[in-house]
Amino acid sequence: MENLLDLNFLIESFPAIISRLPVTIGIAVGSLLLSLVIGVAAALIKIYKVPVLSVITSIYISFIRGTPLLVQIYLVFYGIPKIIYFLQSEYGWLQSADVNSIAPEFYALMAFSINLGAYLSETIRSAIESVDRGQFEAAKAIGMTPVQMMLKIVFPQALTVAIPNLGNMFISTIKDTSLVFIIGVIDIMGQAKILGSRGLAFFEVYIAVSIVYWILCIAVERLLVKIEKRARRYERGIA
């Protein structure tokens, strides 16, 4: 009679799965940092209604929010090499670029950054607009430049407002990295699939990888709670 669960195989699969944790965390953290740059730029473009760029930004956000992440990963994975080949053949640009040497992690990072940047742009825009307009006028009155005003007055307060949403998106990104195996990235989910195919014990490895995701997300959530509390204390101190 076949056992419902091979507990030994489940336990033995943990070290191999955890060994790929740096890949998962690296993609999630890297994409968050890059998406913050994209999100801030897109938010400021929409707030200040920059001609042409505002329309392009709106189309970008609408497209990303209206298409599945899986499709976006494929578009980046197949699109970037085609663009590089086109630039090389038509304009002689990027001749030193070897598409075959680009690691799949790069495509995953780009896809997640583009995806997350669209969602963060709306979060950042609403956070910036939540700052009291009187502080904008006060900053102008004391001679601050727009850049100084944003860096010293607006962004610190907006970040405090945006932290909960940023945290939720980061946790979602960690879970969404399970899709990167489709383009050859061996993260914790990819490692679980490989182990499952070798031992024909998919149920066990999927239980193991789900526990790893669960613990990782709990740890990140606890860290974000501490960061939010510290930010709130900083805000009250300034007030």
1 part of a folded domain: no
Choose the most confident range, by mean pLDDT, from 95-99, 108-112, 148-152.
108-112
Q: How confident is the model at residue 54 (pLDDT cuts 50, 70, 90)?
A: very high
pLDDT at 200 > cutoff 90: no
Task: Specify burial of residue 126 (Cβ count, 10 A radius: 0-12, 13-18, 19+).
Answer: middle
231 part of a folded domain: yes
Range of the domain at 96: 7-238
pLDDT at 94 > cutoff 90: no
- For residues 65-92, give the mean pLDDT: 94
Count how many domains the chain has.
Answer: 1
- For residues 199-228, give the mean pLDDT: 93
CA 235, CA 126: separation in Å to the nearest integer? 18
* Helix, strand, coil distribution of the chain in percent, nearest 5: 85, 0, 15
What's the pLDDT at 228? 84
pLDDT at 127 > cutoff 60: yes
32 part of a folded domain: yes
Q: How confident is the model at residue 234 (pLDDT cuts 50, 70, 90)?
A: low
What phi-psi label fits residue 15: left (phi over 0), alpha (psi between -120 and 50 degrees) or beta? alpha
The CATH number covering residue 38 comes to: 1.10.3720.10
CA 22, CA 180: separation in Å to the nearest integer? 14
- For residues 25-36, give the mean pLDDT: 96
* Cα maximum dimension of the chain: 81
What's the pLDDT at 1? 42
* Residue whose tokens read 């298409």: 67
What Rg, from alpha-carbon coordinates, does the chain have? 22
Q: What sign does the dihedral 124-130-133-135 (CA atoms) show? A: negative
Q: Which residue has the higher pLDDT, 25 or 232?
A: 25
12 part of a folded domain: yes
2 part of a folded domain: no
Q: Which residue has the higher pLDDT, 108 or 130?
A: 108
What's the pLDDT at 56? 96
- For residues 176-193, give the mean pLDDT: 96
- For residues 215-232, give the mean pLDDT: 89
Among 83, 71, 165, 72, residue whose Cα is nearest residue 126: 165
Q: Which residue has the higher pLDDT, 65 or 149?
A: 65
- List b or e across 203-227, with b for residues whose CB sees 16 or more CB atoms inside 10 angstroms: ebbbebbeebbeebeeebeeebeee
Q: What is the number of residues in the chain?
A: 239
What's the pLDDT at 239? 52
130 part of a folded domain: yes
Contact partners, residue 118, CB within 8 Å, separation at least 6: 38, 39, 42, 60, 61, 63, 64, 65
CA 44, CA 185: separation in Å to the nearest integer? 34
What's the pLDDT at 132? 83
| Averaged pLDDT of the chain | 90
